[in-house]
Amino acid sequence: MPDKYKVTPEKAEQFTSILLMDYMINQNGELPVLMDDNFKTLEPLVIKLDAAGYVKTPGQTEKGMNYLPTDKGKDALGKFMQRYSEYLKLYDVFCAVDLTKGEFAFAKFFDFDSDAAWDAYLNEERWEDLRVAVAEYKKVDPLEIVFMSFLNENRFDYTTTTWQFDVSSGLIYDQMEEICNAALTVDQVNQGDDTVMPDIITQGADLTVSLLKQEEEIRKNDPEPAEEQAVPTQTITEENYSYPPQYYQPYYQPSYISPLWLGLLFLL
């Protein structure tokens, strides 16, 4: 039986386009017009981005002759970051669920004083990762959910000399496929009871809103210095798209999906 989820060449182009825009805009990375060995394999996609108006080739700059993002490219990355922000708020909570007890690991998120202690708690064997099943239920592309989890885990590390090869070769996308195809499905979670998955999603939404309210209270009682709160204007990150808890009320409906998740980000 063939695998259910596959990173097609078109999906790979979408994911890699996001990485290239993020690299240029948020990491201040240089994308040379005269491609060196590292970027050579990505040159066909960069040419497509240029032709579609997402990047442009400027004249000589202090950094040399480099591609620069256009307003259209920045807008596309901004839309992705809105999706990514909602992923971090609404989907990541399903990464560790105890199906036997009906418990979410994130219910105790604020009980830990260190990342190490939190990571050890997440690694307990009783937790099941339901993010792919939730995406499947909501008819969101599970591959995009795994792509976002890779971003959150810094699996696309721009500081290495091989990240361009990892994406152009498809090796890292092969890993995403394996995760999606090995993950629990909606049917496996439901076990013949179609009320299970909607109940889990509703519980997750309720927990998300509760966590956001706790986060607000913590910030009110212990505000960060203004200079640390500010997001630099030249970056387009998920932090640009933070909303109050009431924004997420529609997600109490298990099948609700924000219009932000609809459509392609890059038309190439």
Structure confidence by residue, pLDDT tens digits, 82-116: 999 999 999 999 999 999 999 999 999 999 999 99
Q: Which residues does residue 67 pair with via DSSP β-bridges, in sequence order?
A: 31
Asked if residue 231 has pLDDT above 50, the reply is no
pLDDT at 62: 66
pLDDT at 230: 47
Q: Is residue 146 part of a domain?
A: yes
Q: Considering its fold, how many domains does the chain have in total?
A: 1
Q: Is residue 267 part of a domain?
A: no
Q: Is residue 230 part of a domain?
A: yes
**Which of 15-29, 121-135, 239-253 shows the lowest per-residue confidence on average (mean pLDDT)?**
239-253
Q: Provide the domain limits for residue 155.
A: 9-261
Report the C-alpha gap between 176 and 36 in whole angstroms: 27
Task: Label residues 185-221 b or e (16+ Cβ within 10 Å = b).
Answer: ebeebbeeeeeebeebbebbbebbbebbeeeeeeeee
pLDDT at 33: 87
Q: Is residue 1 part of a domain?
A: no
pLDDT at 223: 63
Q: Is residue 2 part of a domain?
A: no
pLDDT at 229: 46
Report the C-alpha gap between 113 and 118 in whole angstroms: 8
pLDDT at 176: 96
Share of the chain above pLDDT 90, in %: 70
Asked if residue 30 has pLDDT above 90, the reply is no
**Which of 98-107, 120-129, 245-254 shows the lowest per-residue confidence on average (mean pLDDT)?**
245-254
Asked if residue 199 has pLDDT above 80, the reply is yes
CA distances in angstroms from 115 to 8, 67, 111, 118, 229, listed in the order given: 36, 38, 11, 5, 21
Q: Is residue 266 part of a domain?
A: no
**Which of 64-78, 164-178, 234-248 shows the lowest per-residue confidence on average (mean pLDDT)?**
234-248
Q: What is the pTM of this model?
A: 0.89
Strands (E), the chain: 31-32, 55-56, 66-69, 97-98, 103-104
Q: Is residue 31 part of a domain?
A: yes
Q: Is residue 181 part of a domain?
A: yes
